[in-house]
Structure 1
């Protein structure tokens, strides 16, 4: 059967199931994960017999069989049963949604043809499972073609959605489709590792709402089928599966002649007194149970001995504009706070991020990243950016520039990714294309677990209220902390300069040896080229340790600028003063000695060369300029006030994280009266500390954060996480960017500007 769109006559067809379908493991058991949500049956009355909704079945001409209106897939020579089973389940639920939206009326012939054309892509679902296909007993990451599990496919679906397939033996005519090779073996999509822009955009239309793992309890399976009409399932299979044909009434023979021979993924669509109804992916010539092509009967005894895993799923409602709104638990036990939720789907930020760890792209997990991603984004911006200062025409959906955001690394990738998604549409509302660089979150997430162990050890020794607890923590954490901080600095260097070994610090007078171009340097070069070619706006925000990355970016520009004309190789514009239309450093976690090399001079030059702008008044609750001169400058450094800094704590440590870094992580500076014979060392200040108020040279750029929204009363202790997540500074950044334009075009209705790229 070449296509499920073409009716077939299953009679007279010689059944020939390839041996590889039943011999060998084509699906892997899901490992135990206590974070899985278990399915709990409701108390609703169960049907004695259940099968696929008859309204979803249509006649096959020249036979007495029916087949689902979305067709019966034939995976042919592929070993991608996990993707095919999940795609069939999605098709069932989408067809049920279709019936509901049309009042339950039976579809017309034209509507059936459309439904069969708009089926989920099995290959796309299989490929996205690759990013989550990791197991404790595997020493290496599996290749693109390898065994998958149900959980990995479900997580891939959650994070990337599902494209539509192109169930024809021709190449897709729609860019957003992902064609499975069962329809066209030479499909160009078979070479795809990650959705392109059109595919990622269209895949958002089909998303996962809820999913629960089933216990191997018969009643749970029956209840789940009553609730959701389909269950995703894996099983050990045997030679009896090959004999489930219309001639044998579609019954999977039990017991088998040869015993277990492999494993397989299918969809359960119903049950009766004998067993479960199984929708397979071996074509319409398989099955035939109760006249249902592609559906066989799986005996309860066979199920009890050979079932592996099962999940019940519900599709989500497409509501992309609703994401980012935090709903409190109001009305539930009197609580009012953010609801704990799962990780943010990856498709919410596709085309708008780069994810690095130790200088390399993170090509697995929930938020994969590839070198080609930025190239695609840059090519899009060449036509998607419209520079200028006038308000855009109503029909003009292009951006006026780019906002590059480099978060710190103190929160894990899950939280940082969610924050980037939440601000995406706010940035677009200012006519700017948002792009975020995650550069060290995975490493920091693991390292903080070590710090927690040390903190707990210190608490158990000294007690929570001990006066010397902070000093004890500084002493105990110093060895690990210094290694941690060096790795942070090295990660920033590798992100910019590449992964080859290089100098620990790059100064203007350093030897100008050739260095490998890192991914952030490649991004910087692309941004410079866009600025030079289009004259577009470029705004840069760096939070916390993100200042280390900015430092390395400036070092790379300076190194290249110091070369002679013939040896310059990276950047087309060597003046960062004119590159950034605004620069915002939020609690910058960089030592004062290092900051004076590039960052502080850049901030001073940007503010000296820029014309003063009228101050817009209170930029945001709790944020105020340090300087008495009421003029906005395009370079800003946000620091906590001395009162707020004194209220910060980092876990059991009763001071801010920057104090801990200064005391135990970063190199110390020679103290007053220090000599080579009798050296004394003191902690150096960090650029993000409140003490920067004392440096008059920075007053034009300094802005103080006086309080946090989470503080119910003045003087309340606040955590480092609360400081990072507070929205006052972000609102101040957006207000500053808007005030740089004519007041008439500061914002564009607060809505979305620009096409949605990925």
Structure 2
């Protein structure tokens, strides 16, 4: 998305004022009188929160309100964001600083971290913009906490690290609610907590308040911009706002003038307010890492059980999130170069004997991919294996499931639920969009390993680590499920182009790559000194494929749907993970040297999966993976409880 336009008053800043802008979160004493000169104006870069019915809303009590409510003035720490943006970070930091001061806690929190986390959780895709939302800032604080400004100054360019995350968890968010933008509700929330985080449409009157009051001209026709700040009190005339523009405002009470504070009239508030949030500091809690970062989330104003998702710090060193060929720096499981540096440092410190690179299938959400990494990590660690999960092209399952469910009534109308033509009609009706979704997923795997792709950069760092160890380097294994085979096909080709060492084992569960891609990538590398030492393919029987379903609509497995409709618009395509691709006239084709084919069955000790998506939840299949990599050296097998929850 494009950058938010800068208002004319920002564009007209002089070069001198830009040069003088602060590079750290400066604080201005609350009782210092406002300076006469006009301050440099920062970017106004906040966007209004979109509608979200999951927000919990604040309910005011019937306790009488005082006629006026002033802040505890010594608790104010007025920040100065200079001419840069990041007002959501500064506005929320000012709010948190006030709450901490109310508890006698010392130290100012980092507006830079709050803004960085806000951009992770805003509602806009991509990263090519400078703005964020109030909800994004609150969500970032909720997910990660916040560290002190001295630990994450404005000059810091790197992302979050495990050490910073641990510090940030000591300043957690407690209960928080969206406040209806009614004057009485906002006043009641101020009475309860003392400070609110807010955003609003601003105007020229914010540039230089007159006599400590923001002048509003309703019909001035000025360019609208958005800004975030905190509300710290109220009078009969309006709300008191604390801004982060240094020597700004200058509200007078008695003989004292308070810089950084101004009166925002109720008329201006009602016309221009966007979002108001009330929050309280959380309590520091020592607890064992559980399988959910938060067990409950809001849904329509009530609490419901959250989708299981581990805290990011619990898997930080064991996943990389790549989307569209780049490290994805959005959301709870974001990735960046700081994380990649930490992973390489962890490898250097731990000196594992084995490294496994795992690529999940295309029908995975981010949370389930993260949970898989969390559940598997203790087993791999106990066996001296360093595992790295690639989280990629997530969300296909929800889109594909929705597509199939939307088309189900049309299929039923045409052929009836008992018709043998059912699947043919599903393939025909869903092919236009299904084909596009599948092709985009395949392109995402390819983009990751172009010369400048994030996957290529990861391989370069990993190979440099291996080269530095010489003969003491750990063995590297590739494991993947379904479309993860497509990911690994491109990974292997780039690995060989970079002159990587031999891959010890390739293990594919129900591979969704075409036989043609297999013959272009894996097969030529099999048995080669700079290729793959051995491979193992675990697939369903054809009967199990036909007994499977996709979203309870398509009455065969996903691989049948891909082979018949989604990989090619005009022809059925042989897929490596289907038993029929390994048959010729009713007999199995000979496997190439170094290759093992396992047909899953309920009686098999090697794989008992009964569905396409079940291999990485199947105890025999996963223990087969361990035994393939380690032989008789397995110290700990997977347990049933580690196969659930993703």
Question: Displacement, 1:346?
Answer: 5.6
Determine helix, strand or coil for the equivalent of 2:511: coil
Structure 2 distance, partners of 1:315, 1:135, is 27
Question: Displacement, 1:319?
Answer: 6.2
Task: List aligned pairs for 1:302-341, cutoff 5 A.
Answer: 302-314=268-280, 321-325=288-292, 339-341=305-307
1:687 maps to: 577
Question: Displacement, 1:350?
Answer: 4.3
Structure 1 distance, partners of 2:448, 2:266, is 56
Total equivalences in the alignment? 589
* Aligned pair partner of 2:135 in 134, 151, 160: 151
Residue 13 to residue 34, structure 1, CA distance change in 2 (3 Å): closer
Question: Displacement, 1:420?
Answer: 3.5
Question: Displacement, 1:152?
Answer: 3.5
* Aligned pair partner of 1:524 in 459, 480, 483: 459
Structure 1 distance, partners of 2:217, 2:61, is 36
Structure 1 distance, partners of 2:410, 2:622, is 39
Question: Displacement, 1:295?
Answer: 4.5
Task: List aligned pairs for 1:463-542, cutoff 5 A.
Answer: 463-478=416-431, 480-496=433-449, 498=450, 516=451, 518-532=453-467, 533=469, 534-542=472-480
2:6 maps to: none
Determine helix, strand or coil for the equivalent of 1:39: coil
2:369 maps to: 416
Find out whether 1:194 has 2:213 as its counterpart.
no
1:394 maps to: none
1:164 maps to: 148
Structure 1 distance, partners of 2:308, 2:292, is 14
1:571 maps to: 499
Structure 1 distance, partners of 2:455, 2:235, is 59
Residue 283 to residue 483, structure 1, CA distance change in 2 (3 Å): closer
Question: Displacement, 1:524?
Answer: 3.4
Residue 479 to residue 7, structure 1, CA distance change in 2 (3 Å): closer
* Aligned pair partner of 2:87 in 77, 81, 86: 81
Find out whether 1:252 has 2:213 as its counterpart.
yes
Determine helix, strand or coil for the equivalent of 1:547: helix
Determine helix, strand or coil for the equivalent of 1:216: coil
- For structure 2, the residue ranges without an aligned partner over 5 or more in a row are 1-20, 297-303, 639-646
Matched-pair contact (CA < 8 Å) for 2:38–2:208: no
Determine helix, strand or coil for the equivalent of 2:387: strand
Determine helix, strand or coil for the equivalent of 1:73: strand
Matched-pair contact (CA < 8 Å) for 2:312–2:332: yes
Q: Deviations over 1:439-477 (max 9, x none)?
A: 333677656655554445323433444332112112334
Structure 1 distance, partners of 2:625, 2:166, is 26
- For structure 1, the residue ranges without an aligned partner over 5 or more in a row are 58-65, 100-106, 167-176, 181-186, 330-337, 388-399, 499-515, 561-569, 611-633, 670-680, 708-713, 749-758
Structure 2 distance, partners of 1:257, 1:605, is 75
Find out whether 1:33 has 2:54 as its counterpart.
no
Structure 2 distance, partners of 1:545, 1:434, is 19
* Aligned pair partner of 1:649 in 542, 549, 569: 549
Structure 2 distance, partners of 1:164, 1:128, is 14
Task: List aligned pairs for 1:543-554, cutoff 5 A.
Answer: 543-554=481-492
1:67 maps to: 74
Question: Displacement, 1:87?
Answer: 1.1
Matched-pair contact (CA < 8 Å) for 1:269–1:279: yes
Question: Displacement, 1:380?
Answer: 1.0
Question: Displacement, 1:428?
Answer: 4.1
Structure 2 distance, partners of 1:292, 1:462, is 79
Determine helix, strand or coil for the equivalent of 1:324: coil
Task: List aligned pairs for 1:647-726, cutoff 5 A.
Answer: 647-651=547-551, 652-666=553-567, 684=574, 686-687=576-577, 689=579, 695=588, 702=598, 704=600, 706=602, 723=614, 726=617
Task: List aligned pairs for 1:12-51, cutoff 5 A.
Answer: 14-18=35-39, 20=41, 25-30=44-49, 32-41=50-59, 43=61, 45=63, 47-48=65-66
The TM-score with structure 2 as length reference comes to 0.73
Question: Displacement, 1:418?
Answer: 4.5
Task: List aligned pairs for 1:585-596, cutoff 5 A.
Answer: 585-595=508-518
Matched-pair contact (CA < 8 Å) for 2:197–2:278: yes
Residue 227 to residue 299, structure 1, CA distance change in 2 (3 Å): same
RMSD over aligned Cα atoms: 4.8
2:228 maps to: 265
Find out whether 1:216 has 2:175 as its counterpart.
no
Determine helix, strand or coil for the equivalent of 1:491: helix
Residue 94 to residue 692, structure 1, CA distance change in 2 (3 Å): farther
Q: Deviations over 1:467-519 (max 9, x none)?
A: 321121123344554555444444333333x1xxxxxxxxxxxxxxxxx4644
Residue 19 to residue 320, structure 1, CA distance change in 2 (3 Å): same
Matched-pair contact (CA < 8 Å) for 2:545–2:611: no
1:179 maps to: 153
Residue 295 to residue 705, structure 1, CA distance change in 2 (3 Å): farther
Structure 2 distance, partners of 1:481, 1:354, is 27
